[in-house]
Every structure is written in structure tokens, then in C-alpha cells.
Amino acid sequence: MIPLMTGFARFSQHQATGTSSAAVAGTGAAGCLSYGTAGAVDLPAAGAIAITALLTARVGAKATALFNPVQMARAFAVFQMLVAPLVPLKGLIVRQQKQQSPAAAASTGTAEPASPSSRQAELLKLMGVGLVAGLASGMFGIGGGVVITPALCLLTEMPFACVLGTTLASMVPPSLVSVGTHHQLGNVVTSAVIPLVAGSALGSFASGQVAVRVPEEPLQYSFAVVIFAQGALKFWALRGKV
């Protein structure tokens, strides 16, 4: 949404950041509903991320005043390129492990329930992820795709559809905090909020119904290609600018 708003709608980087936060909240709510109906949302994990993300979302939103649009856009582009490979890398490691272990390859894919202590440790790690995700949400106006999705892939054994559903659910509260802060800073184009929220919510619900029905590997590589391409194109477009 941010590249489209800055490239076609001619929003400033700050306006795109603030306005997209509203759309992220709509996308997260609709996506949570869509994935939730398929049982693909880990609510404790989403809650652990959301609690700490709420603490840093406002800080990130206020930090946008310290940077000019070019600096913000370039930082976001680099961030996208760095995190894009993490999701397919995780999938590759898991597939290699299954090939090396006959027992794992013969299994049905149903994971054993985690012990209480390991589950608590996992949730604590996800709370740390939430701190970073909230800061990025407030500062860049993004959803959880470039922070939470790779983290859930690397830190948990969730199926990828559940990773996506949990990511969307966890970003609703911090996105609401972020858009409120950006509105106070004058970074929200109010006339664009309703169309963006409606469109992104419909798209999120529809794509969620598709994502829970297709194989994981194409989803992982598609995610990485889209995120990396967006970052690379933006970084190239900003060459020579300060």
C-alpha cells in the first residue's frame, strides 16, 4: 500500500505511513476472521505479540518526525530486502530436516503438544518480537509481514497458514494505536481511510480463504519475492536522493 500511495496517489512518505496504519487495522481484523474460521490463528501467540507491540507503536509513530521522507523510505526499503529471505529459508531448513529423518518424513505432520515451560519460553520470545513489530508498525505504517511472519516461522512450529493468521490478528491493536498517534501528528489523509480499510479488508478476507487451501512452499516464496522486489525497486528509485 505504501509504494502505491507514494507512487500513484502522490502522498508524502509521512502521509502514506500514517494512512496505511488504518488500513493495516482493517486488514488484520478481516484476515483474523478469515483465518480464524479455518482454525489458523494462535490466539495466545497473537496476544503475546500484541501486548508488547502496543508499548512501542506510539514511540515508532512519534519517531517519524525525526526523519525526512527520503530517509524513511530508504530505511524501509533496506529493511524489506533483509527480511524477505527469512521465510523461505525457514521452509527449506524444515524440508531438509524431514528428508534426513525417515521418522519425520513418515509422520502425518501433526506436531506434539508443547510442554508448558517450552510454551512459556516461546511466548516470551514472541513478546520480544512484538516490541520490534510495534516500533516498525508505528514508524513505517506496515503490518506484521516483514517482522512477525519471519519471526513466527523461525521461532515456532506453526504451519504457514497459521503464521499468516496469527500475524494479522496480532497487528490489530498496535495498528489502532499507531493510526491514532499519526492522526495527532497530521499524517493521516482522512478521505482515504474508508476506501483503504474497506478494500484491504475485503482483499484480506478473500486471500485468507485461498491461503489456507494451498501448499506452504509457494506461499513462502511468493511472500519473499514480493517483499524483496518492493524494497529493491524503492531503494533504486531513491538513488542519489538525501
| Tens-digit pLDDT profile for residues 144-155 | 777 898 888 888
Statement: residue 216 has pLDDT above 90:
no
CA distances from 112 to 95, 153, 157, 197, 234 (A): 18, 17, 10, 38, 43
Q: Is 183 inside a domain boundary?
A: yes
- Confirm whether 242 is domain-assigned: no
Which pLDDT value is given to residue 102? 54
In a domain? residue 108: no
DSSP single-letter state for residue 41:
-
Give residue-wise pLDDT tens across range 165-209: 999 999 999 999 999 999 999 999 999 999 988 888 888 788 777
Query: Which domain range does residue 232 map to?
Result: 2-103+113-237
Q: Say if 41 falls within a structural domain.
A: yes
Number of independent structural domains in the chain: 1
In this prediction the pTM is 0.75
31 occurs within a structural domain: yes
pLDDT at 107: 46
pLDDT band at 110 (very low <50, low <70, confident <90, very high): very low
